[in-house]
Amino acid sequence: MKRWLWLAAAIAVAVLIPLWLGGADMLGRLQRFPPLLWLAMFAMIGLCWCINALRLRLLLGALADRLTLRRCLGTVMATEFAICASPGGSGGPLTLLALLGRFGVRPARASAVFAMDQLSDLAFFLCALAGIFFYALFHHLNHGLQWLLTLSALLMLGAAALGLALVRWHRQVIRCNGQVLRRLGVGAAKRRRWARKLLRFLEAFADTCKLPRPVLAKVFLLTCLHWGVRYSVLYLALRGLGADVEWAWTFLIQMLSLSAGQFSLLPGGAGAAELTSAALLAPMVGKASAAAAILIWRVVTYYFYLIAGGPVFATMVGGPLLRRLKHRPTP
């Protein structure tokens, strides 16, 4: 119950930030926003869910026959709801593992699928950062943006290097973890069990990496399509409000804002994403237009994920759990 109250408080704060920034002028701009553009942006999110469902089926390989496209779509919606509703998105991988396990996918393989999905996202954002640095050569960026870009690039490169080091020197990592756990008083049986889980994950990840190259290429192309569509929402919101901002700038603002939201460890980055995007966007289009665009952007890319994904999460995760508790024999 406390977690849901914390989520509600974070959402309330996130909504109040644009209202405080834009005031009455923002409400007037929202009333004049084209209704058809609202529908188009919500349809774009539906397209993103379908793209991620196709990506999940490709990563599952031969196991994809166990999940229909409808189940894949429900799994994606429930997982992304959990990402938006949990601190730092920590509930996402747990939800994905639980749902794939229900369809007969082993935890090691499900973890490998999630890792490959995140690796594809990481590769896309590294390519996007390279493109943004090239774009910055011909456009002036202030020192704040340059610092944020450099920090994001270093963090992404560090994550990639850490993952490669784990794969390359996994035996040394297992030995080091064993020594640390022994000093912490963890029993030998539990240490061996955790080492076996890590080895199974690495084996499943290696099998996922051995998928045919055309399949991996399709996964990456779907990743690019997903983020390209999703990161066009803020651009369309600004266009609907009459502001003229280049798509590259809106992409950069969203990437930096959502990164700041992740580091805040708040559900969906609520509050931190709004403050960061307001600080970057207000000097370009003014406070009222920035506040209206941020509110529209977050309604489509955050609140809609909660509203549409919540019932799916409750049906796919909560329903089976309640039935299991209902049929459990009383002591």
pLDDT of residue 73: 93
pLDDT of residue 141: 64
pLDDT-derived band of residue 146, with 50, 70 and 90 as boundaries?
low
- For the chain, the maximum distance between any two Cα atoms, rounded to a whole number of angstroms, is 72
Mean pLDDT (whole number) for 280-284: 84
Q: What percent of the chain has pLDDT over 90?
A: 25
Q: With 90 as the cut, is the pLDDT of residue 135 above it?
A: no
Radius of gyration of the chain (CA): 22
CA 193 – CA 199 distance, rounded (Å): 10
Q: With 50 as the cut, is the pLDDT of residue 326 above it?
A: no
pLDDT of residue 66: 79
pTM across the whole model: 0.84
Q: What are phi and psi of 267, to 5 degrees?
A: -55, 120
> End-to-end alpha-carbon separation of the chain, Å?
26
pLDDT-derived band of residue 123, with 50, 70 and 90 as boundaries?
confident
pLDDT of residue 44: 96
pLDDT in tens, 177-208: 666 766 777 677 777 777 777 777 777 777 78
Contacts of 47 (CB under 8 A, 6+ apart): 229
Mean pLDDT (whole number) for 279-300: 88
DSSP string, 181-226: HHHTT--HHHHHHHHHHHHHHHHHHHHHHTS-HHHHHHHHHHHHHH
